[in-house]
Amino acid sequence: MADYTKYTKQEMQAYAIAKNIKENQIVIVGTGLPLIGASLAKRVVCPSCHPIVESGLMDCSPVEVPRSVGDNRFMAHCAVQWPNIRFVGFEANEWLHDADRMIAFIGGAQIDPYGNVNSTCIFGKGDYVQPTTRFTGSGGANGIATFCNTIIMMQHQKRRFMEHVDYITSCGWMDGPGGRERAGLPGNRGPQMVVTDLGIMKFDEETKRMYLAYYYPFSSPEMVQENTGFEIDTTRAQLMEGPDPEIIRVIREEIDPGQAFIKVPKETK
C-alpha cells in the first residue's frame, strides 16, 4: 500500500501553486511544476480555473502531464486550439480591457527583491557579450511579465536570490514604487508572489519589496533568510499546512504517474 502521508519539497511547491490559483482564473502555464500545480488546481482545488499555454491551447485539462507546450496531451482536452499569435493578442487584450482574471507563471535563474527575473545570462567575471553562462532567454516570459500579473517559480538558493540581478529578462516592480511606469510598463500589472521550495514570498503594497508570507512545515523563517542573498522581512510569515494524502495521491497516480517532473524517493512511495 502506497504511503501518501509523506511528501517531497517539490510536491509541497506544486500544492502551494494550486492553492494560489483562484476560481475562474485564466492561468498561463508552461511545463514542469507550474503545470503540475495548475493541473492539481483544475482537478481538485478550483475546477473552474482555465489553464492556457503559449502555443495557443486554451482551457487545457490534460489526462497526464505533457512534456512541452506543444505536446499532444495538451490538445486532447482543451477548449480551443489557437495559433500562437492569438495567444499573444489575448494576453495583451486582457490588459487593454483592464481585466483582472489572468495570472501567469514564469521562472528564471536569478531574482531580486523587487521581482525582476534574469533568465538570459550570468555575468560571472564577464559581461553580457561574454558571460560565464548563457541561458535560453525570455521565450514568452517578457511579454507575459509586461501585460500579466505573475507568480514566479524559483528554487530557494542564495545565489539565485540576489540584491541585483545580472540582467533583467522579465520585469518585476523594477526599482520599487513607480518603477514600472518610469520604464514605460503597465503599473497595474506585476509580480504577485514567488513560490519556492522553502516558502511563499509576496510583495509589500507600498514598497514593492519582497517579504516572506508563508513557510512550510519543513522550513522556517530563519532557513529562508539563510538562503536569501538580501535582507528579507520575515516578521509577517505564517506557517502553511502541508497537503493531505489525497492531494499527494492525485499528483503521483493521476497527474504525473511517470514522474516526468516530480521524482518520488523510494522510501516515500
| Rounded percentage of the chain residues whose pLDDT exceeds 90 | 69
For the stretch 188-205, pLDDT in tens is 999 999 999 999 999 999
Tell me what pLDDT residue 92 has: 83
Query: What is the pLDDT at residue 158?
Result: 96
Of 99 and 164, more confident: 164
Please indicate whether residue 231 is annotated as part of the active site.
no
CA dist 80 → 19, 55, 96, 240 (Å): 26, 11, 22, 36
pLDDT score of 251: 95
Residue 72, SS3 per DSSP:
helix
| pLDDT confidence bin for 83, thresholds 50/70/90 | confident
Architecture of the domain defined by 9-261: 3-Layer(aba) Sandwich (3.40)
pTM for the full model? 0.92
Residue with cell 536569478: 110
Mean pLDDT of the chain: 91
Domain-wise residue ranges, the chain: 9-261
Mean pLDDT of 49-73: 83
From the list 11, 23, 54, 241, the catalytic residue is 54
Q: In a 3-state reduction of DSSP, which class is residue 93?
A: helix
Phi, psi of 259 (to 5 degrees): 55, 45
> Which among 135, 141, 140, 211 is positioned nearest to 166, based on CA atoms?
135
Other residues' Cβ atoms within 10 Å of the Cβ of residue 81: 12
